[in-house]
Structure formats: structure tokens, C-alpha cells
Structure 1
């Protein structure tokens, strides 16, 4: 049996219309036993989840994104493929999260950081990742190191890179780029490779 106060809560929450039929009773049955630890009634079935989106509305929003992406390429001189990068997707996801919290009440200029702030953050990220890489390398007992050379197609500048390969028990085969620098030596001989590696330390 429900107390008088609980019944009054149900009366306020469950409004019946002729078109509802017995659906109102179903909602009552589903919510009456789902109470929080402090005794407060929880409403669990009256609003659609954010995961249930309207397909037509999604298509309309995507068309607006397409237009904005095209304008991004034109106004900021960015390649079309920029929106396919993992970094851009991560930024877009964070902006969606912020938008879900603040809606349109906060101007985007207050959210986006200044370019100087971003450049300083790069150094901080490098230091954090560098420490993580050192800690990782100290735990490895079996690994392989490879050296790779390539030339940039448009500039003609040659590069040499050193990559660490190892097997992780959880994630399987992993590869980590330890360093990458411009390579100016005339040949890819062993002594030149050794010389290149020494410049990384």
C-alpha cells in the first residue's frame, strides 16, 4: 500500500488522457518500486533518452555541419580531409559535451582557447607523454627497434624515424615512434644511421 503523500505524488505525475488507455497504469507499475536510497521517487520512464534521436532531425543537423565544414576549409584555408582526423573528431566530441551542458547560452568565443594557450599546452602534453614513455620503456623486457627513411613528396625533404615495437599483454603488438628528424646524409649506410640515432639522445 502507498502512503497518502506517495499517492499525491503519483496523481501529480501520471496525467491520464483517453488516448493513453491503460498505459498510465503501466507507468505506475514500473515506477512505484524504483525508489532511491533516500526514499525519493525516481522518474525513469517519462522522457526519451538522449540516445533516441530523430533521424530526420539528425539529417538536418548533418547538412548544417557539412556547410560549416565547407566554410571552414574556405575561410581558414584548411584541407577537406581535416575533419576526418582523430584530433578534430576528439575536439568536436568535446565541443558537443560542452554544448550539452551549456546549450547556446555561452558564446563559442568563451569556450575556444587562444592559439598561444594551445601552443603552450603542446609543451605540457609532450612532457606528460615523455614521462609515460620512459615509464613504459623501463617495464619492457623484449622489444625491437626499426629505422625508417622517406622523402616528403612536395618539399623533397628527407626524414629518418626510429620506432619501438613491443607486445602488450592486453593490447597486442604496439608501435611507438621514438623520434623523427630531417635526414641530410647522402646515403642510408649503417654509420649514417648510427649517427642519426645518436642525435636523438
Structure 2
């Protein structure tokens, strides 16, 4: 009987500890990770040329993306970080990839030729986090992103500030890194979708002032 009870206790402890990340000290999440799925990229001779620069990280705590709190409260805290450690660059890379896969002519700061750009895109990370809290037999994840993108027309010097934000919450019964990665991906993608939607609401952003006269002149 004692052996059965001891075995049951071991199983419970494995569940309790394993249900919050599998015993790893730090969880690293990749930004971006959403894959290209047959999206046609615009040819080099079409569209406004965009250069994406690193965003400034304005968060109070820039070293971490968040915390996962296990079932033992403050004695069971583990950091969540962005792989590579540079959130501003990670968001810029996510934007570059996202726009490229949707047919935009976009390059990063390190991938520029003299003909680029017509537009420079940068901005601020005002809030970006993911936290996971274990309670009872489940873990609740919350993720939030607040970005302010700055669209600068290199032709006439005009500037536009484009704020976007997204937040989601999800509960899982067996918390894994894949759960956290999936949720942060969705929050980032939702934010970038908002950016594209806002840009397309105003045609001047897709055709910056001065470009039309250059092309027809």
C-alpha cells in the first residue's frame, strides 16, 4: 500500500512540475515564425520600396518577454525571452517577412542597394509580453503587443505614425513551449494585419506624395 501511495505521489509531482514547461529554466520564443505559404512576392520593378529599420524597445523591462509562474508561486518563476534577445530587431524582422510574403517590396537595413528606399519604416515597441500562470490543473497564458510604426516618406519627408495593438488569452491543461509560441505568433500576426489594414485605408501611404510625378515625369 505504501509503495502504491509513493508511486502515486511521484506521478503527481511529475505532472505538477512538467505541466509548466517541462523543467527548463528559460523559455526562448522565436519572432517571427509564421511560414510563407505560396504567397507571390512582387517583382523588383513594381510598388513602393520600403526599408524596415529596428524598432526602439520602450518597455520598462527589456530583458524579458514575460514570466511563467508554476504551481508554487514566487518559488516557481521562470523567464520567457525572445530568441536573440533583441525585441526591436525581432519585430522589424517579423514585419519584413510579413510584408514580403504579401507582395510588398521591402528590405531590412542590412539588405539595401542605392535605389532603396522610397519609404523608411521604423517605430517603437511600447508593450510586448507573454505570461503564463499555472493554477490548479491548467495554465493561463496572456499575450499583448503594442507597437507604434513610423512610416517616413523619403521623397517629401512626410511622416505617419501608425499605432497597432493586440491581446489574447488562452488556457491549456498541459503547458508547452509550442503553446506559448503559437499564442505569441498570433498576437504578432494580428498586430501586423492591423498595420496593413490601416495603411491600405489611406492611398497616400501606398503611393507617397511625389512618386507619381517622378514616374510620369
TM-score, structure 2 as length reference: 0.18
Q: Report which of the two has the higher share of strand.
A: 2
Larger gyration radius, structure 1 or structure 2:
1
Q: Report which of the two has the higher share of helix.
A: 1
Higher relative contact order (CA 8 A, sep 6+): 2
